[in-house]
Structure 1
Amino acid sequence: MVVATEDDLVRRAIDQASRRGIAVVTLVSDLPGSARQHFVGIDNVAAGRTAASLLGRFCPEGRIGVVAGSLALRDHRERYEGFIAVMSAEFPGHEIVGPLEGFDDDALTERAVGGLFEQPGLTGIYNLGAGTAGLIAALERRQVSGRVRVVAHELTGATRAGLQNGSIDVVIDQNPDGEIAAAIATARAAAMGHDGERAAPPIEIGLFLRDNLR
């Protein structure tokens, strides 16, 4: 199983493994164009489209900032592509700022989010990567809970706290436990020669608000 940035060196390593008879399953972020057997993860374009539908509907017209971890990650790029597609087609009255890269680091993400507040008329933020503790710190410092709508990814301790205190409005979750179980089952089937019988379906996208936290 491989979780990696989209890079020619990684592709070549996967291709070499495949030639040696090693089945490779990509997890979370796909590497199309490589010899990987299967991808296990959510439809990241759909996740980005979902974020756009939420922010486009519930933010007053203005600026919406986008913070990515790294655009070298295909899952982050696909989320951004889905987001932009819906915003431009359905909510043209909003201006998109970014994407700024926080490299999934709390301090860098806090700095990136702080930069967004230099833009007048900021009404929403889409954090499509990690670094969520930095996002929350920047929001709390400016006391904008309830005035700037925020969509983030992955139900973690930090995003759970953000939902509970109102810093984050919606979390888009990819069910990591389900992903790992599906990846193990897919890899086991491939190792046993049942590769064609076990193409993992996309993992369902979960949406969490403060009201439905489990």
Structure 2
Amino acid sequence: MRPTTKDLAKAAGVSLATVDRVLNGRSGVRKKTIATVNDAIKRIGFERNQIAATLARQRAYRFAFAVPRSGGEFLDEIIERIREFDRVGRAEMIETEVIRIDDRDPHEAARTLGRLSPDKIDGIAIMAPETPQIRDALHRMRERGIETIPFVANQQEDGFVGIDNRAAGATAGRLMGRFLGQRQGTVIALTETTQSRDSLERRLGFDGVVNRDYSNLRVLPTLETHGDPGRTRHVLRNALDAHDDVVGLYIMGAEARTPIEVGGQLNAINRLVVIAHERTLSTEAALRSGEIDAVIHQDPGHLVRSAVRILRAKCENRSTLASQERIRIEILIAENL
């Protein structure tokens, strides 16, 4: 028979009340005692009845997604998937909501996070660049009893939900080199900001492949757009004017509309190989028209569902199935849309 909470209490040498507090992540239990209970869980093979545990709470889990105030089509798609999950998740006693934060002002973003109460939020997935202010805000939230995980934009903490960005950048580098073949020239790399961990990791992965395997290509220093269409046009056109041997464009960020527009103007004269990230209406249309060659994608629905599962597991002090939460790197071309 499956071990019960009474069996778990006996194996750990603690009271039923202590087991209940550990299983439900309540305060008032020493770290040593928590470790003892967790060791006993593994030793006797205890598995919690999660349906019964959720019903015993007498309220739904409430999870939030903190996302930037400004963003492009990919962010819109993520928000739609969050709202979609909220509609269907209530049957499992899970509610999800969107909180907008100022990703360009880390102090203001930290203040927004600091106002969240564990009485209203059980866990939160954070989509924001890694800064000292955000890092401190996350630490204080966990002290207040709110579980946190980094979402899409990586932070240096456990539970990151998103693709392996270094592998994604390396994939882009391989595609760029393969598509260009023996052509020699310059490749432009473009992103919203180099302060984001995902952009840094993508660039490292991209450079690692191109520098090692494609000596016919030279990659320029990363151009930053700060998410501004006017600046995007300006820096990209300046780079195209300054280098008459541009053969490739790597769009590292999620917002590709303006780079596609400017890059398309050059394609009529000198065919560029263009690699972008994230499937949106714009990148899909550009793939179909031949303005870009490939899109490296991560499924927004999978991202949201995985974040909810991990947050719930954290609240219930249990692990998740790692293979289920691994976000795949998808390569899209016109032929497999």
TM-score in terms of structure 2 length: 0.59
Q: Which has the higher helix share?
A: 2
For 2:161 and 2:320, locate their aligned partners in 1 and report how far apart those are by CA, in whole Å: 15
Aligned equivalent of 2:169, options 48, 53, 68: 48
Moved over 4 A (4+): none
Which segment drifts farther, 97-106 or 64-73?
97-106
In the TM superposition, what whole-angstrom CA distance separates every residue of 1:39-77 from its partner, at most 9, and x where no partner exists? Answer: 110000000000000111222121011001111110111
Q: Which residue of 1 aligns with 2:96?
A: none
For 2:269 and 2:195, locate their aligned partners in 1 and report how far apart those are by CA, in whole Å: 31
SS in structure 1 at match of 2:150? strand
Establish whether residue 102 from structure 1 lines up as the match of residue 225 from structure 2: yes
Q: State whether residues 145 and 166 of structure 1, in contact with CA within 8 Å, keep that contact through their aligned partners in structure 2.
A: no
After TM superposition, give the deviation of residue 116 of structure 1 in Å: 2.6
Q: State whether residues 114 and 138 of structure 1, in contact with CA within 8 Å, keep that contact through their aligned partners in structure 2.
A: yes
For 1:206 and 1:104, locate their aligned partners in 2 and report how far apart those are by CA, in whole Å: 24
Establish whether residue 58 from structure 1 lines up as the match of residue 179 from structure 2: yes
How many residues align structurally? 209
Larger of the two Rg values belongs to structure? 2
Q: State whether residues 192 and 226 of structure 2, in contact with CA within 8 Å, keep that contact through their aligned partners in structure 1.
A: yes
Q: Which residue of 2 aligns with 1:169?
A: 293
Q: Which residue of 2 aligns with 1:188?
A: 312
Q: Which residue of 2 aligns with 1:72?
A: 195
For 2:291 and 2:261, locate their aligned partners in 1 and report how far apart those are by CA, in whole Å: 9
In the TM superposition, what whole-angstrom CA distance separates every residue of 1:87-107 from its partner, at most 9, and x where no partner exists? Answer: 111112211112001123333
Q: Which residue of 1 aligns with 2:78?
A: none
After TM superposition, give the deviation of residue 2 of structure 1 in Å: 0.4
For 1:105 and 1:206, locate their aligned partners in 2 and report how far apart those are by CA, in whole Å: 27
In the TM superposition, what whole-angstrom CA distance separates every residue of 1:79-133 from its partner, at most 9, and x where no partner exists? Answer: 0111111111111221111200112333322323222312111110100003311
Aligned equivalent of 2:239, options 93, 104, 116: 116
Aligned equivalent of 1:89, options 212, 225, 239: 212
For 1:146 and 1:105, locate their aligned partners in 2 and report how far apart those are by CA, in whole Å: 26
After TM superposition, give the deviation of residue 154 of structure 1 in Å: 0.4
For structure 2, which runs of at least 5 residues remain unmatched after alignment?
Answer: 1-124
For structure 1, which runs of at least 5 residues remain unmatched after alignment?
Answer: none
C-alpha spacing 1:44/1:110, structure 2 compared with 1 (3 Å):
same
Percent pairwise identity: 31
Q: What is the identity, as a one-letter code, of the residue corresponding to 1:95?
A: R
Comparing both chains, which one has the higher relative contact order based on Cα–Cα distances under 8 Å and sequence gaps of 6 or more?
1
For 2:269 and 2:285, locate their aligned partners in 1 and report how far apart those are by CA, in whole Å: 13
CA RMSD of aligned residues (A): 1.7
SS in structure 1 at match of 2:220? strand
For 1:124 and 1:18, locate their aligned partners in 2 and report how far apart those are by CA, in whole Å: 44
Q: What is the identity, as a one-letter code, of the residue corresponding to 1:160?
A: E
